[in-house]
């Protein structure tokens, strides 16, 4: 067994002290690989930058030679050595759903950040002993024994984040004899009974769609922050949810909690159990290229919200709000004219989850979800309500769990259930950049909904074609629509809006300054080396769309609507 020991001598400094022991089994050298990425985020990471004081020694405590081969791979010369001990410190001072954090109140670790595997010995057992205060509880998908977590292999270890503290709140519920644990870290007063009741409802709906849960238990690990946050990461039998502000998290943000938790639970089947062939097994040392991000995240985004509606946790208004947000993200992104959603997933390994260069790519989440909405409704229409996207995902679960699925496998299944219109979604939108609007209208008509075009409530987007963010009181432009008045007048990404009609914008909301304006506006724009005054006429740009339910839907539309979302 390969053994880790984590200790926290000076927790306030945020350094985890890590000790790794491994028998050499007669090998003359051993290679130690720190993961280059983490499952759930298909971009290269740089975890090794947080490592301090890396050293190797033998069973007698004598230092032995090693060298660093790449940014996250070390080779140790262990000729004649029976057991190698690696010691290093890991700086854990990032609190999000995929990172690690240590202070005087908790030890929170995503092992993929800081645990190395011995190359060629990934399938051996790995143990992780925690030297932590006696009153700490441990929340983790791996069952603990005397503060030691034991994993059957490295993949299980790094897929098992944990929180250790003395201040967690806890509740649980059961579905089909399986226990679902809810652990909450952070200063808050959660509505535990309501949480467990709502979580149980959408869990029942998801399990019903697949027939079984692929794991023996499940853990929701919450990190509640005193500041605004929203982030979730899926794992084999657990998820970490980072959400705040603590003052309103279980009130104003309750729908967000339900949305992200339903999404992450659905991942238990889609991407943790059902994986693209390229990711079986994971190769933690390099990119795992795939164009199937639209399945991993697009299906999950769409189905996670749909499960909330079908289970009765969300009403129509709450569900439609989630779809309207996907539409907004799609139509406010001119990248949809340049790169398909399939290719955008491939390129996440290149530029991650940031906007990247202007108008480059689409979102595997929002755009992927809209494609799945269309496919689902076209399947319902083609089968006259007998089948839906649920049946495609169940087939993936039943037939490709061991082998993994390919792009052709997924497309052929969808077309088998949905016919020509589904095939056109793939060619026009998933692998093409054709405008979504007519296809969305056609799909929504199946269930008696219409796509309604409205002016963007963001007045700078609507009137001039630019979208800015507030960065410490400064209004920095992040999007400019092609051929809008902003674009044709030389305004571009990263410019700053200094004033509007002579009124400084710092500390003010641009919407408030534009509220009563209907004619030409004078804006002072700060560029990198100069400032310019620009006169902009008012128009209409960045239109967005929303879903509206037809009150006069016919019997067939009502039947299909019931099959779709009850």
What is the three-class DSSP state of 47? helix
Separation of alpha carbons 168 and 188, rounded Å: 10
Domain boundary among 193, 221, 253: 253
Domain assignment of residue 154, yes or no:
yes
**Beta strand 51-57 pairing with 218-225:** unpaired
> Token match 């226990």: residue?
179
Same domain, 306 and 417: yes
Same domain, 441 and 464: no
CATH of the domain at 404: 1.10.390.10
Domain assignment of residue 541, yes or no:
no
Same domain, 381 and 498: no
Residues 6+ apart with CB under 8 A from 271: 39, 40, 234, 296, 300
Domain boundary among 205, 229, 253: 253
Cβ burial 67-101 (10 Å sphere, 16+ → b, else e): eeeeebbbbbebeebeebbbebbbbbeebbbbbbb
Same domain, 303 and 431: yes
CB atoms within 10 A of CB 453: 10
Q: In the numeric block, which tokens belong to residue 49?
A: 């930058």
Domain assignment of residue 544, yes or no:
no
Separation of alpha carbons 497 and 514, rounded Å: 13
Same domain, 114 and 216: no
Q: What is the pLDDT of residue 446?
A: 98
Question: Looking at the 3D structure of the chain, how many domains does it have?
Answer: 4
Separation of alpha carbons 291 and 297, rounded Å: 11
Same domain, 418 and 390: yes
Domain assignment of residue 208, yes or no:
yes
Task: Return averaged pLDDT per consecutive 10 residues of the chain, 566 residues in all.
Answer: 96 98 97 97 95 96 97 97 98 97 98 98 98 96 91 97 97 98 94 96 98 98 95 98 90 95 98 96 96 98 98 98 98 97 95 86 97 98 98 98 97 98 98 98 98 97 97 95 97 97 95 92 97 96 96 96 95
Q: What is the pLDDT of residue 246?
A: 80
Q: Is the dihedral of CA 444, 445, 448, 451 positive or negative?
A: positive
Domain encompassing residue 134: 2-165
Domain assignment of residue 172, yes or no:
yes
What is the three-class DSSP state of 339? coil
Separation of alpha carbons 31 and 220, rounded Å: 34
Same domain, 314 and 438: yes
Residues 6+ apart with CB under 8 A from 508: none
Same domain, 476 and 564: no
Query: Got the DSSP string for 282-309?
Result: --TTS----STHIIIIIIHHHHHHHHHH
Q: What is the number of alpha carbons within 13 Å of residue 253 lying toward its C-beta?
A: 21
> How far out from the chain centre does Cα 418 lie?
28
Residue 63, beta-bridge partner list = 57
Q: In the numeric block, which tokens belong to residue 172?
A: 């649980």
Separation of alpha carbons 188 and 450, rounded Å: 41
Residues 6+ apart with CB under 8 A from 289: 278, 346, 349
| Burial classification of residue 552, based on how many CB atoms lie within 10 Å of its CB (0-12 exposed, 13-18 middle, 19 or more buried) | exposed
Residue 90, beta-bridge partner list = 16, 51
Residue 471, beta-bridge partner list = 474
Q: What is the pTM of this model?
A: 0.96
Separation of alpha carbons 363 and 335, rounded Å: 9
Q: In the numeric block, which tokens belong to residue 508?
A: 């003010």
Pseudo-torsion of CA 21, 22, 28, 33, nearest 10°? -80
Q: What is the pLDDT of residue 453?
A: 97
Same domain, 475 and 488: yes
Domain assignment of residue 416, yes or no:
yes
**44 φ, ψ (degrees, to nearest 5):** -70, 140
SS (H, E, C) 87-98: EEEEECECCCCC
CA distances from 220 to 46, 103, 257, 290 (A): 26, 21, 11, 28
Same domain, 112 and 223: no
Domain assignment of residue 454, yes or no:
no
Separation of alpha carbons 524 and 433, rounded Å: 35
Residues 6+ apart with CB under 8 A from 340: 362, 429, 430, 431, 432, 433
Query: Got the DSSP string for 99-110?
Result: S-EE-SSEEEE-
> Token match 């679902």: residue?
180
Domain assignment of residue 260, yes or no:
no
Separation of alpha carbons 297 and 3, rounded Å: 34
> Token match 């490295």: residue?
154
> Token match 């002993």: residue?
129
Residues 6+ apart with CB under 8 A from 529: none
- Residue 199 and residue 182 in contact, taking contact as beta carbons nearer than 8 Å: yes
């Amino acid at each position: 067994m390969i053994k880790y020991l984590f200790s926290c001598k000076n927790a306030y400094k945020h350094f985890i002290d890590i000790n790794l022991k491994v028998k050499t089994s007669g090998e003359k050298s051993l290679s130690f690989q720190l993961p280059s990425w983490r499952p759930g985020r298909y971009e290269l990471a740089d975890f090794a930058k947080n490592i301090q004081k890396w050293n190797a020694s033998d069973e007698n405590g004598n230092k032995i030679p090693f060298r660093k081969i790449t940014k996250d791979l070390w080779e140790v010369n262990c000729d004649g050595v029976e057991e190698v001990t690696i010691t290093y410190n890991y700086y854990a001072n990032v609190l999000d759903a995929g990172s690690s954090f240590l202070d005087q109140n908790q030890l929170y670790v995503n092992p993929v950040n800081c645990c190395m595997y011995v190359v060629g010995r990934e399938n051996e057992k790995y143990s992780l002993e925690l030297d932590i205060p006696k009153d700490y509880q441990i929340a983790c998908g791996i069952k603990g024994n005397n503060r030691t977590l034991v994993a059957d292999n490295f993949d299980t270890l790094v897929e098992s984040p944990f929180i250790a503290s003395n201040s967690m709140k806890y509740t649980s519920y059961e579905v089909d004899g399986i226990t679902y644990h809810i652990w909450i870290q952070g200063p808050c007063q959660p509505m535990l009974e309501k949480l467990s009741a709502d979580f149980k409802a959408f869990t029942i709906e998801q399990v019903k769609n697949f027939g079984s849960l692929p794991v023996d238990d499940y853990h929701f690990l919450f990190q509640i922050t005193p500041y605004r946050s929203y982030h979730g990461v899926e794992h084999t039998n657990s998820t970490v949810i980072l959400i705040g502000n603590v003052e309103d998290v279980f009130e104003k943000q309750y729908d967000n909690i339900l949305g992200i938790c339903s999404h992450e639970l659905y991942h238990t089947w889609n991407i943790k159990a059902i994986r693209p062939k390229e990711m079986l097994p994971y190769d933690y040392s390099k990119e795992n290229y795939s164009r199937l991000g639209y399945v991993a995240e697009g299906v999950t985004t769409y189905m996670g919200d749909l499960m909330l509606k079908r289970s009765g946790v969300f009403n129509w208004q709450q569900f439609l709000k989630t779809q309207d947000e996907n539409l907004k993200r799609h139509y406010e992104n001119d990248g949809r004219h340049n790169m398909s959603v399939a290719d955008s997933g491939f390129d996440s390994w290149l530029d991650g989850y940031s906007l990247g260069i202007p108008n480059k790519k689409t979102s595997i989440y929002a755009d992927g979800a809209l494609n799945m909405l269309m496919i689902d409704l076209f399947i319902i229409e083609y089968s006259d309500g007998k089948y839906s996207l649920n049946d495609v995902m169940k087939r993936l679960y039943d037939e490709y769990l061991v082998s993994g699925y390919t792009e052709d496998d997924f497309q052929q299944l969808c077309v088998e259930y949905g016919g020509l219109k589904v095939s056109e979604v793939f060619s026009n939108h998933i692998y093409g950049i054709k405008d979504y609007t007519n296809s969305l209208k056609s799909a929504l008509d199946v269930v008696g909904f219409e796509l309604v075009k409205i002016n963007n409530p963001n007045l700078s987007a609507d009137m001039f074609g630019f979208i800015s963010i507030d960065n410490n009181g400064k209004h920095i432009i992040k999007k400019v629509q092609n051929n809008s008045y902003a674009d044709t007048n030389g305004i571009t990404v990263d410019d700053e809006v200094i004033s509007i009609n002579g009124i400084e914008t710092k500390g003010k909301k641009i919407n408030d300054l534009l509220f009563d304006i209907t004619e030409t506006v004078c804006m002072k724009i700060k560029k990198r080396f100069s400032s310019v005054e620009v006169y902009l006429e008012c128009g209409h740009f960045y239109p967005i769309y929303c879903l509206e339910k037809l009150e006069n839907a016919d019997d067939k539309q009502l039947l299909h609507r019931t099959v779709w979302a009850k």
